[in-house]
């Protein structure tokens, strides 16, 4: 059932290899003090930094920078950004990077004018902002997280061994995002395939839940089929602009709330993966890949019809001469084979997880109740062991 | 190829049987002088009018009414609404009805402060508004047109025998729309199935165009499959709330620009159908149904691969032992059979078209160039004759 819900995604998206041309018109709508946040330095190497700085200059902006936003942005990095932003009197935040940088920008945006400790307020107590929110825009350089068109923000606290996501309200969504597929094409293959799996799993987290057969499920199936098709081309030919475009566009629509309308949503693969990430600092998409099949094989009996439908509709597997269980299993095997085709990490041991970490990772795994089965701690430990 | 494009849909959607509960909070954001526009009187019979008036009163609004907005809103009705709105000093327009009423509200919104004749400026010269635009909100009572989340507005000029649509900018999209599937369930079956076909054809107008295989095509296939599934249930059981919900949600996503990203788009079935509508005043969805198969069968050879894909992916037809042509034909036959299942009008003669009208209807048919084949006037006449 679709049930009762609202949908509001005011982010303006500019897509394509000419999209940066719209940055000036957008920036002109916002304040003079722009906080430029970005990652490790790849944007200096590929020229995007220079182009953006030049546009900021043309707009007459007073720019302060927060470089070095790491792939799993930390609470310390958040505090550093807030010190810079408060001194600078930032009135607009421009994120240039991947999902981590966009997430980070949103965390800064709700915290600049916040009197409380933002980690405690937003990521421990899950309260909503009551202070002024500084607007955010994104120039996206990596496809995967959907952060460019959603209100999510994930921050890692290494001391507490916690990696926590908060989904804010639509006033925290970026005002605009610039999506140039060419920017995603300068990244290493490891990041490309990790992003691809993040997209697939976002859709699965919403699809494999609740009572089925609503429009969201059908849209999800379309997005998954598009992704499988485009990813197979991209893995052979990462410079194929059309394939990379479709991956980038699918990433946005996989996690902007559209396909969760009417779905209870699962998110346990992300809970398990984020906990692994808190312990290993591994790439997000790889942590998901490493835990997915043990998780899905475990819950499959509790959502059997949907896994059978997944096999038929997403992987094109014929139901002929198969029991429902066999069809469902064939679907998960097809996904596994595709994951291996992509070259994903399929074992948490390869990400640095050791047996002695498992109890701690299980403690760090939030238990959610939207999926086909609510796990208990023993089952989480079992799945983590099977993921090694 | 997705190419270069922007996407911006700021409309806030409230969906479900509790959605009217959000009308007050929304109205409180806008001005005091609310122009209430609606159709023929069904909203008085089903109680929606009373509920809305009561909410407007609670908000302390000064309400003027434009009742009687007909299914193909006319230019005379537009002028009448403008006289009322200007005297009233309308600062917000609330449309309560189906797509026609929403379209009409948008036409009023760009015309109240417009010095030019709006028919000439917007529907003949296709210029964009330069005047102040009055905000619009919708309470939707019929599913089909997508008008609740787009910037389109169709107005009919019976004297000129023209029915013309203008797609405005995103500042003309409704600020919010309230989508309660229950409201759609009080309508006669004729309107329900006409709306269902309008949805299907919206998707086809975008899908059957351009170079293929992008994400938009996969999303379209998902929407079409959802619609076919839900419509079969709804035709047997119009009171099935889940089926009617999915139809209503699919209608919004079929025509809010998402699935036209990267597509040249066709729209000739709508051009032919609107021309038939200008002559007969027939229900929009039925005019489309009556011309569709002759049109698609005519252009099929020029987009053969896509029609074959349509057969396989949307209708589940096996390609085994079929040539590409046979598969493509089987897909159109499957759509035809579904249209007959629904009970659609399949001949323009049943809508009042007579042989002597055909030349005039052909003159009224705008020729567009986004589809697989650009028609000439002779071909239009041929298709209109085949539609009789």
Residue A167 bridge partners (DSSP): A152
Q: Which residues 203-222 of chain A have a CB within 8 Å of chain B?
A: 213-215, 217-222
Q: Do A10 and B6 touch (CB under 8 A)?
A: no
Does position B161 have pLDDT exceeding 90, yes or no?
no
The band of B46, judged by pLDDT with boundaries at 50, 70 and 90, is confident
pLDDT of residue A201: 98
Q: Give the Cβ contact number of residue B318 at 10 Å.
A: 11
Q: Which residues of A touch B13 (CB under 8 A)?
A: 6-8
Q: Do A246 and B13 touch (CB under 8 A)?
A: no
**Burial annotation A366-379 (CB, 10 A radius, 16+ → b, else e):** eebebbbeebeeeb
Does position B195 have pLDDT exceeding 90, yes or no?
yes
Does position A259 have pLDDT exceeding 80, yes or no?
yes
pTM assigned to the model: 0.96
CA quadruple B351, B354, B358, B361: dihedral sign: negative
Q: Which residues 240-279 of chain B have a CB within 8 Å of chain A?
A: 241-242, 245-246, 249-250, 253, 258, 261-262
Question: Tens digits of per-residue pLDDT, B325-337?
Answer: 999 999 999 999 9
Q: Which residues of A touch B8 (CB under 8 A)?
A: 10-13
Does position A191 have pLDDT exceeding 80, yes or no?
yes
E strand or H helix at B21: none
Does position A267 have pLDDT exceeding 90, yes or no?
yes
Q: Do B246 and A18 touch (CB under 8 A)?
A: no
A199 CB near a chain B CB, below 8 Å? Answer: no
Tell me what the mean pLDDT of segment A133-154 comes to.
96
The percent of residues above 70 in pLDDT, for chain B, comes to 100
Q: Give the Cβ contact number of residue A352 at 10 Å.
A: 12
The percent of residues above 90 in pLDDT, for chain A, comes to 93
DSSP string over A255-277: TSSGGGTT-----HHHHHHHHHH
Across the interface, of A6, A10, A250, the residue whose CB is closest to B215 is: A250
Tell me what the mean pLDDT of segment A278-303 comes to.
95
E strand or H helix at B137: strand B136-140
Rounded to whole angstroms, how far apart are CA atoms A88 and B177? Answer: 40
Does position B66 have pLDDT exceeding 90, yes or no?
yes
Block residue for tokens 């990077």: A97
Size of interface A-B (CB pairs under 8 A): 131
pLDDT of residue B278: 87
The band of A46, judged by pLDDT with boundaries at 50, 70 and 90, is confident
CA quadruple A164, A130, A14, B372: dihedral sign: positive
pLDDT of residue A163: 87
Question: Tens digits of per-residue pLDDT, A310-333?
Answer: 999 999 999 999 999 999 999 999
Q: Which of A63-72, B57-66, B203-212 has the lowest mean pLDDT?
A: B203-212
Average pLDDT value over all residues in chain B: 96
Question: Tens digits of per-residue pLDDT, B77-125?
Answer: 999 999 999 999 999 999 999 999 999 999 999 999 999 999 999 999 9
Q: Which residues of B touch A206 (CB under 8 A)?
A: none
E strand or H helix at B140: strand B136-140
- Rounded to a whole number, what is the distance in Å from the CA of B348 to chain A's nearest CA? 32
Question: Tens digits of per-residue pLDDT, A12-40?
Answer: 999 999 999 999 999 999 999 999 999 98
pLDDT of residue A172: 98
CB B214 within 8 A of CB B56: no
Tell me what the mean pLDDT of segment A98-105 comes to.
96
Tell me what the mean pLDDT of segment B175-200 comes to.
96
Q: Give the Cβ contact number of residue A340 at 10 Å.
A: 11
pLDDT of residue A161: 85
Tell me what the mean pLDDT of segment A185-208 comes to.
96
Q: Which two tokens stand for residue A2?
A: 């679709």
Tell me what the mean pLDDT of segment B295-307 comes to.
97
Average pLDDT value over all residues in chain A: 96
Does position B344 have pLDDT exceeding 90, yes or no?
yes
pLDDT of residue B304: 97
Across the interface, of B14, B226, B245, the residue whose CB is closest to A218 is: B226
Q: Which residues 175-194 of chain B have a CB within 8 Å of chain A?
A: 181
Question: Tens digits of per-residue pLDDT, A156-165?
Answer: 998 998 889 9
- Rounded to a whole number, what is the distance in Å from the CA of A83 to chain B's nearest CA? 33
Does position A211 have pLDDT exceeding 80, yes or no?
no
pLDDT of residue A42: 87
pLDDT of residue A278: 87
Rounded to whole angstroms, how far apart are CA atoms B79 and B340? Answer: 39
Does position B211 have pLDDT exceeding 80, yes or no?
no
Domains of chain A by range and CATH?
Answer: 12-183 (3.40.50.1970), 189-386 (1.20.1090.10)
Per DSSP (E only), the strands in chain A are: 5-15, 33-38, 62-66, 92-97, 136-140, 152-157, 162-167, 176-179
């Amino acid at each position: 059932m679709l049930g009762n819900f609202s949908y509001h995604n005011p982010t303006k998206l500019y897509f394509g290899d000419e999209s940066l041309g719209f940055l000036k018109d957008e920036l002109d709508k916002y304040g003079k003090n722009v906080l430029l946040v970005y990652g490790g330095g790849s944007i200096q190497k590929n020229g995007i930094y220079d182009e953006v700085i030049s546009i900021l200059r043309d707009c007459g902006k007073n720019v302060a920078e927060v470089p070095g936003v790491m792939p799993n942005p930390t609470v310390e990095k958040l505090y550093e950004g807030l010190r810079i932003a408060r001194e600078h009197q930032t009135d607009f935040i421009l994120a240039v990077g991947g999902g981590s940088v966009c997430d980070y920008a949103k965390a800064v945006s709700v915290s600049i004018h916040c009197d409380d400790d933002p980690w405690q307020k937003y990521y421990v107590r899950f309260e909503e902002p009551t202070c002024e929110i500084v607007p955010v825009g994104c120039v996206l350089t990596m496809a995967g997280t959907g952060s460019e068109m959603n209100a999510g923000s994930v921050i890692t606290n290494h001391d507490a061994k916690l990696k926590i996501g908060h989904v804010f309200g639509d006033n925290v969504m970026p005002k605009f995002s610039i999506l140039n597929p060419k920017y995603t094409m300068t990244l290493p293959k490891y990041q490309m395939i990790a992003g691809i799996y993040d997209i697939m799993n976002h859709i699965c987290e919403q699809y494999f839940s609740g009572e089925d057969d609503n429009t969201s499920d059908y849209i999800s199936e379309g997005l998954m089929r598009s992704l499988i098709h485009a990813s197979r081309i991209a893995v052979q030919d990462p410079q194929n602009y059309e394939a990379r475009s479709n991956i980038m566009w699918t990433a946005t629509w996989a996690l902007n709330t559209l396909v969760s309308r009417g779905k209870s949503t699962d998110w346990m693969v992300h809970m398990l993966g984020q906990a692994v990430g808190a312990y290993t600092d591994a790439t997000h998409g790889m942590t998901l890949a490493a835990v997915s099949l043990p998780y899905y094989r475990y819950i499959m009996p509790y959502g059997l019809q949907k896994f059978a439908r997944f096999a038929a509709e997403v992987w094109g597997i014929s139901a002929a001469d198969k029991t429902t269980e066999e069809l469902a299993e064939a679907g998960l095997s097809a996904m596994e084979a595709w994951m291996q085709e992509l070259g994903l990490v399929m074992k948490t041991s390869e990400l640095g997880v050791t047996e002695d970490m498992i109890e701690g990772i299980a403690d760090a795994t939030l238990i959610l109740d939207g999926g086909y089965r609510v796990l208990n701690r023993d089952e989480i430990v079992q799945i983590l062991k099977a993921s090694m």
